[in-house]
């Protein structure tokens, strides 16, 4: 698989990463630990070197699965994890105090069964802690050899610039897909200017762009709290999936593959991290890295999406408040 560079500090990852959150945390359909570990190792065998987790996924249990799954390949893979949620629970608020960052890092190292974290993200920007203090703390951890690269998640342009002045930011992880294109306005131009990589999470619109969601979600599905996934909004937004499916058929691929290939075509420093619990979906996702669009095809996709108005917020109110708009 193609290797891409994130930032200017030397971080290299597979063009397509693996978002591990859903292995045991998302949608009410997690895998047994042994099956999750097996899927992680299948991903490595198929060329994926970039794996994303966080203490908040579980909490804690996802890091343990990722650590055990990647232990045989540790020197050949990139593991990213995150700090910044109070007691590892996003709904409780934020906490990026320097002492918390250090404590979380030490605990993550143990759960991941490693002596270094490749990419350490601030999960959400904490308005009560200056970003300069956050970057300075991670800088110390890098000097101590416990962390290699620094990342931010869902940060605004002003915060990104302030952090980057203290410690080069290698990657920003934020939502970006054909289901959510807001980063194109200010974020992507700023990242390009500063030489920072972009790691889109939910590149398949939390599964919506695959076309498998066309009715009310099951009661246990965690997406029920997201306004875009109300029964009414699912019905309204299906026009997007239908339009993308028609375009995908012309390229003999699935709408999910189209969505991932579109992201990969945007910039050479973008590395999406789709998640899955199924081997055939993993293989389907990987096939998207082989797709090449012509300029006309990309123009057609963009024009199609631009003509559709999507309905519903991407976060419930309690989590929407944590998004940095600076």
Hey, which residues does 121 pair with through a beta bridge?
82, 151
Pairing of strands 18-19, 78-83: unpaired
Specify the long-range contacts of residues 222-229, CB closer than 8 Å, at least 24 apart.
222/26, 222/27, 222/28, 223/27, 225/316, 226/312, 226/313, 226/314, 226/315, 226/316, 227/312, 227/313, 227/314, 227/315, 227/316, 228/179, 228/310, 228/311, 228/312, 228/313, 228/314, 229/312
The rounded distance, in Å, linking the Cα atoms of 210 and 255 is 6
Report the first-to-last Cα separation within the chain, whole angstroms: 36
- 3-class SS shares of the chain: helix, strand, coil, % to 5: 50, 15, 35
CB atoms under 10 Å from CB of 292, counted, come to 9
Q: Is 121 a catalytic residue?
A: no
Helix locations, the chain, DSSP H:
33-45, 61-70, 98-111, 131-143, 157-166, 187-194, 231-250, 255-266, 279-287, 295-306, 317-320
Choice among 57, 121, 149, 176 that is catalytic: 57
Task: Supply the residues annotated as catalytic.
Answer: 57
């Amino acid at each position: 698989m193609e290797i891409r560079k994130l930032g200017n500090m030397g971080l290299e990852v597979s063009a397509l990463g693996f978002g591990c959150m859903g292995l045991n945390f998302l949608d009410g359909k997690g895998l047994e630990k042994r099956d999750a570990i097996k899927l992680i190792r299948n991903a490595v065998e198929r060329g994926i070197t970039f794996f994303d987790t966080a203490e908040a996924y579980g909490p804690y249990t996802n890091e343990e699965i990722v650590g055990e799954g990647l232990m045989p390949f540790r020197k050949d893979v990139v593991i990213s994890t995150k700090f910044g949620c109070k007691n590892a629970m996003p709904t409780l608020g934020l906490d990026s105090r320097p002492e918390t960052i250090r404590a979380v890092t030490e605990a993550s190292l143990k759960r991941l069964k490693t002596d270094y974290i490749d990419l350490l993200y601030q999960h959400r920007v904490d308005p009560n802690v200056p970003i300069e203090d956050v970057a300075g703390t991670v800088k110390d951890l890098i000097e101590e050899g416990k962390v290699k690269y620094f990342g931010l998640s869902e940060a605004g342009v002003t915060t990104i610039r302030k952090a980057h002045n203290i410690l080069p930011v290698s990657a920003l992880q934020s939502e970006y897909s054909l289901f959510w294109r807001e980063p194109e306005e200010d974020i992507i131009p700023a990242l390009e200017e500063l030489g920072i990589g972009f790691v889109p999470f939910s590149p398949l619109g939390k599964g919506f762009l695959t076309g498998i969601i066309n009715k009310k979600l099951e009661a246990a599905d965690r997406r029920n709290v997201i306004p875009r996934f109300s029964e009414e909004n699912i019905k309204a937004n299906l026009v997007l999936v239908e339009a993308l499916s028609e375009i995908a058929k012309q390229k003999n691929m699935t709408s999910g593959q189209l969505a991932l290939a579109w992201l990969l075509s945007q910039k050479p420093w973008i590395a999406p991290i789709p998640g899955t619990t199924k081997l055939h979906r993993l293989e389907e996702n990987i096939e998207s890295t082989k797709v090449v669009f012509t300029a006309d095809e990309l123009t057609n996709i963009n024009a199609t999406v631009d003509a559709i108005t999507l309905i519903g917020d991407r976060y419930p109110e309690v989590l929407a408040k944590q998004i940095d708009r600076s």
